[in-house]
Structure 1
Amino acid sequence: MDDSKEFSFTEVNTIRASASKVTCCHFSSDGKVLATGGHDKKAVLWYADTLKPKTTLEEHSLMITDVRFSPTMSRLATSSFDKTVRVWEADNAGHSLWTFMGHSSTVMSLDFHPNKDDLICSCDGDGEIRYWSINNGSCSRVFRGGTAQLRFQPRLGRYLAAAADNVLSILDVETQACRQTLQGHTKAIDSVCWDSTGDLVASVSEDSVRVWAVGSGSEWDCVHELSCNGNKAHSCVFHPTYPSLLVIGCHQTLELWNMAENKTMALPAHDGLISALAVSNVTGLVASASHDKTVKLWK
């Protein structure tokens, strides 16, 4: 892969993270802590170097759908089927700092803005997107466009990528106007991820993976496309040290897709669906979370 003798991608640690399915995971910005969440209604913080548990967050009444660390502060947030978003202090997570209520349906995803400390965004199963002010503890904006997952463009935070059904919408963060509607998936998009520069955004549905280049004006092109041939792709992340490599979580396997050469390599990884992937650009670790109740680290 990648014409490099040094390239390797091997499992370095594994842990049974839960008594039930794990649905989400994310690294803290310094790469030292990994957060996971899922069907058992708990979010767990793990020391990334040992995968020993640090803290368990138990306030949600239904399964957790997403967990995200703030890129700028020592905070994390969780979203849940219980229609709430909770914000926690990462270093002293005994009780949540805020509980945001207002969604009328299950909250499916959330994200922190990369440089507006005060802004969290979340979306629910009815397609409603809400902006929350951490400082005020209140909802500052309501609009529409995302059901499955949403992610802010890293670094710049100019755009919000939001998936609903088989369409990826690119929303202007300031105006909430839809800048671009990216179409091509035939099945519902399950997950979205940006590369670390914010120049590329990838979308994954069961049948295909597409990578789009950030454009000026209306020029957002699909620059790479991979057909999944029944492999049930579900999650993805850009490799921390090989930017032309996309790591895709499928049913039981991880697919390493070299986009430059359009070659893939499959690795047996889990005994169930790989529901979420996370990457630390600081440590170079990739985490995979699965319905088989385990979380694994790769490097």
Structure 2
Amino acid sequence: LHQSVTGSPGHMEGEVWGLAAHPLLPVCATVSDDKTLRIWELSANHRMVAVRKLKKGGRCCAFSPDGKALAVGLNDGSFLVVNADTLEDMVTFHHRRELISDIRFSQDAGKYLAVASHDSFVDIYNVLTSKRVGICKGARSYVTHIDWDSRGETHLQNISVKLEWASWTSVFGPTCEGIWPTLSFVNAASLTKDRKLLATGDDFGFLKLFSFPSRFAKFKKYVGHSSNVTNVRWSNDDTVLLTVGGADTALMIWTRELPGHKESKAVDSEESDDDTEEDGGTP
């Protein structure tokens, strides 16, 4: 990986947790506690191309499968779906009191939207009719990660289950049990579409790359953020890895080197090596 940083002024207050890569274009979205939603271009310019103010801060966002809609979860328990091009409201809902922690469109043209909250519920909405059609109950704590499986069913990713995931962003389960360091917390994970590289971000500020499935905890470790790495996502074509930092509020863009290419020793990366001394394990 070779690191670069966005060249435009970014989020200014609180922490940045919300990050989504456009499914078809070299574009990403971020949302943070500073009550703004921002769209970034991932070309050589790395520039911010749109920004919108929100009524509350947010911690998660997701594009629809066709890239035309963008869902944003807010910290007051509400969420909105906006037009991805204009950032104008399409629909808004407010059924929960605690912050929305994860939000995901189903893979069948984005007909359904799953919304997880710190109220320990996952609400299911029909995007076409703008109605809530289901409530998933039974979580013993707040829900941190959700995903649809390949058949179009939604599941909590707080639990360890072996399924064929639609996006492979879980931090739990048999396929990623080796990603957990002894004393830190893994905040996010993202798998390339060819299912070869699993990227993770943790509270120590490390970005790590594991071979998938990551059961033996051998990884390459990169340092760029000044504190916790809150989210990681591969771009639409897997050529770029996106990371956001909590306290430093930075969006960083990492270029994936081609196989056989000698890895660049970028001046803003403190470490890039094979590290087997820190064993991973289940939390």
Match of 1:266 among 217, 221, 226: 221
Match of 1:103 among 78, 91, 96: 96
Match of 1:249 among 178, 181, 201: 201
User: What is the distance in 1 between the residues matched to 2:219 and 2:238?
Assistant: 24
Match of 1:14 in 2: 6
Give the 3 Å change call, closer, same or farther, for CA 92–200 of structure 1 in structure 2: closer
Judging by fraction of residues, say which structure has more strand. Answer: 1
> Would you say the 8 A contact 1:111–1:151 is kept in 2?
yes
Q: Which runs of 4+ in 1 moved over 6 A?
A: none
User: What is the distance in 2 between the residues matched to 1:27 and 1:140?
Assistant: 27
Match of 1:123 in 2: 116
Give the 3 Å change call, closer, same or farther, for CA 199–122 of structure 1 in structure 2: closer
> Would you say the 8 A contact 1:100–1:138 is kept in 2?
no
After TM superposition, the score normalised by the length of structure 1 is: 0.73
Cα deviation 1:32-63 (Å, max 9, x = unaligned): 2110011101110111213212221223x322
> Would you say the 8 A contact 1:72–1:115 is kept in 2?
no
Shift of 1:26: 0.8
Shift of 1:116: 4.2
Give the 3 Å change call, closer, same or farther, for CA 212–199 of structure 1 in structure 2: farther
Give the 3 Å change call, closer, same or farther, for CA 19–233 of structure 1 in structure 2: same
> Would you say the 8 A contact 1:83–1:101 is kept in 2?
yes
Segments of 5+ residues of structure 2 without an aligned counterpart are 256-283
Amino acid in the other structure paired with 1:147: V
Segments of 5+ residues of structure 1 without an aligned counterpart are 1-8, 169-179, 183-193, 205-209, 214-222
Cα deviation 1:155-206 (Å, max 9, x = unaligned): x343323144xx34xxxxxxxxxxx5x7xxxxxxxxxxx9xx74895643xx
Shift of 1:254: 0.9
Match of 1:276 in 2: 231
Match of 2:187 in 1: 234
1:84 partnered with 2:46: no
Match of 2:53 in 1: 58
Give the 3 Å change call, closer, same or farther, for CA 75–201 of structure 1 in structure 2: closer
User: What is the distance in 1 between the residues matched to 2:69 and 2:6?
Assistant: 25
> Would you say the 8 A contact 2:83–2:89 is kept in 1?
yes
Cα RMSD (Å) of the superposition? 2.5
Amino acid in the other structure paired with 1:286: L
User: What is the distance in 2 between the residues matched to 1:103 and 1:114?
Assistant: 24
Match of 1:132 in 2: 125
Give the 3 Å change call, closer, same or farther, for CA 73–14 of structure 1 in structure 2: closer
- What SS class does the counterpart of residue 148 from structure 1 fall into? coil
> Would you say the 8 A contact 1:211–1:225 is kept in 2?
no
- What SS class does the counterpart of residue 225 from structure 1 fall into? helix
Give the 3 Å change call, closer, same or farther, for CA 163–227 of structure 1 in structure 2: closer
Match of 1:45 in 2: 39
Give the 3 Å change call, closer, same or farther, for CA 104–278 of structure 1 in structure 2: same
User: What is the distance in 1 between the residues matched to 2:71 and 2:111?
Assistant: 12
User: What is the distance in 1 between the residues matched to 2:25 and 2:4?
Assistant: 15
Matches within 5 A, 1:134-213: 134-144=127-137, 145=139, 147-153=143-149, 156-164=150-158, 167-168=159-160, 198=165, 201=168, 203-204=170-171, 210-212=172-174
Shift of 1:295: 0.4
Matches within 5 A, 1:27-42: 27-42=21-36
Cα deviation 1:61-117 (Å, max 9, x = unaligned): 322010100012411000011211100111121x21110122243222111001143
Match of 1:293 among 249, 252, 259: 249
Cα deviation 1:258-290 (Å, max 9, x = unaligned): 337641121112001110011124252110011
Shift of 1:137: 1.9
Shift of 1:238: 1.4
> Would you say the 8 A contact 1:255–1:264 is kept in 2?
yes
